[in-house]
């Protein structure tokens, strides 16, 4: 007997690929420990192999009697693995004990976001007594000003960038920017924000899936602005990208 994991529980666990079947709770054998019991069956995607087509294209050598197949057909198997709770804890513990194979994959952020609402309250990315707040918690419809501020106090002073929703203007260290936008500000637009992290690395095969991976470049861009229909909308808008050195440039958001 199988039991589908409820949708709201799945959303709390992880966001699965659209092409995978939902996980199931089953009585089975853990792929890691070999123990039988309550397991989580995870879909790993379909696997297709070529097998002989025995219904056509079969030839037999009259002298040796050997059979040769002239035609092949694809067969699709549902590829999945089952994991017990103990097995998952064991493999996660092992992963946590190992170094990150991609150096620099989690760079320190030099900027953080800060949203001021129309009632004067402020929501920051890193509250003093709490963990990082995800940007999807921002109520953009209530934002009056949205800022990108330095995360740490350093010798190199980074400029603060602020978008004023009422006017659509963006300021760098208190000075209005000229973003070279030829359109007219749309008051019905939405405040938008995204953090774009790009990793560029090279790898050298050692054996099997074992690779030496070298991170050659990691860049973090903070995107702020306004756009009709939101960040992924097709309406007009003005978005700028701010790099880790405090420089900015116009940004066309396409993906």
Say which residue, 52 or 151, is predicted with more confidence: 151
Q: Is the pLDDT of residue 75 over 70?
A: yes
Question: Radius of gyration of the chain from Cα atoms?
Answer: 27
Name 116's Cβ contacts closer than 8 Å, sequence gap at least 6.
122, 143, 144, 145, 146, 147
Helix (H) or strand (E) holding 2: none
Q: What pLDDT, in 10s, does the model give residues 96-131?
A: 887 765 554 455 678 999 999 999 999 999 887 667
Q: Which two tokens stand for residue 174?
A: 């208190």
Q: Is the pLDDT of residue 9 over 80?
A: no
Is the pTM higher than 0.85? The answer reads no
- Distance in angstroms (rounded) separating the CA atoms of residues 165 and 146: 8
Q: How many CB atoms lie within 10 A of CB 162?
A: 18
Q: Following DSSP, what letter does each residue of 222-239 receive, concatenated?
A: EEEEEETT-TT-SS-EEE
- Distance in angstroms (rounded) separating the CA atoms of residues 24 and 155: 53
Q: Which two tokens stand for residue 236?
A: 């007009």
Give the mean pLDDT of 137-160. Answer: 88
The one-character DSSP state at 251 is: -
Say which residue, 50 or 195, is predicted with more confidence: 195
Give the mean pLDDT of 149-178. Answer: 89
> Over the range 102-133, which residues count as b (16 or more CB within 10 Å of their CB) and which as e?
eeeeeeebbbbbbbbbeeeeebbbeeeeeeeb
The one-character DSSP state at 135 is: G
Contact 194, 253 (CB under 8 A): yes
Say which residue, 254 or 62, is predicted with more confidence: 62
Highest-confidence range of 129-133, 136-140, 178-182, 228-232, by mean pLDDT? 136-140
Dihedral sign from CA coordinates of 3, 8, 10, 16: positive
CA 152 from centroid of its chain's CA atoms = 25
Quote the pLDDT of residue 27.
Answer: 93
The torsion angle over the Cα atoms of residues 201, 16, 192 and 248, rounded to 10 degrees, is: 0
Give the mean pLDDT of 169-196. Answer: 90
Band of pLDDT at residue 8, cut at 50, 70 and 90:
very low
Q: What pLDDT, in 10s, does the model give residues 30-40?
A: 988 899 999 99
Say which residue, 73 or 82, is predicted with more confidence: 82
Quote the pLDDT of residue 101.
Answer: 56
Q: Is the pLDDT of residue 71 over 80?
A: no
Quote the pLDDT of residue 77.
Answer: 72
Q: What pLDDT, in 10s, does the model give residues 185-230?
A: 988 999 999 988 876 666 555 555 555 655 566 788 999 999 998 8
- Distance in angstroms (rounded) separating the CA atoms of residues 145 and 166: 8
């Amino acid at each position: 007997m199988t039991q589908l994991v409820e949708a709201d529980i799945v959303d709390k666990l992880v966001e699965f690929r659209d092409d995978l079947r939902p996980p199931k709770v089953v009585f089975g054998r853990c792929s890691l420990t070999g123990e039988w019991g309550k397991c989580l069956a995870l879909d790993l995607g379909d696997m297709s192999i070529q097998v002989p087509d025995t219904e056509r294209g079969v030839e037999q050598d009259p002298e040796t009697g050997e059979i040769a197949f002239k035609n092949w057909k694809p067969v699709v198997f549902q590829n999945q693995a089952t994991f017990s709770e103990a097995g998952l804890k064991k493999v996660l513990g092992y992963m946590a004990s190992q170094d990150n194979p991609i150096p620099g994959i989690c760079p320190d952020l030099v900027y953080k976001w800060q949203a001021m609402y129309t009632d004067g309250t402020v929501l920051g990315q890193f509250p003093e007594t709490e963990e990082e707040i995800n940007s999807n918690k921002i109520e953009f419809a209530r934002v009056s000003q949205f800022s990108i501020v330095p995360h740490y106090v350093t010798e190199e002073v980074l400029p603060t960038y602020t978008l004023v929703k009422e006017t659509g203007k963006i300021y760098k260290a208190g000075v209005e920017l000229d973003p070279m936008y030829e359109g007219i500000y749309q008051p019905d637009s939405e405040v938008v924000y995204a953090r774009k992290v790009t990793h560029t690395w090279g790898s050298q095969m050692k054996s099997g899936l074992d690779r030496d991976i070298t991170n050659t470049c990691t860049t973090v861009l903070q995107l702020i602005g306004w756009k009709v229909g939101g960040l992924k909308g097709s309406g007009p808008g003005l978005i700028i990208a701010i790099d880790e050195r405090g420089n900015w440039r116009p940004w066309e958001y396409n993906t």
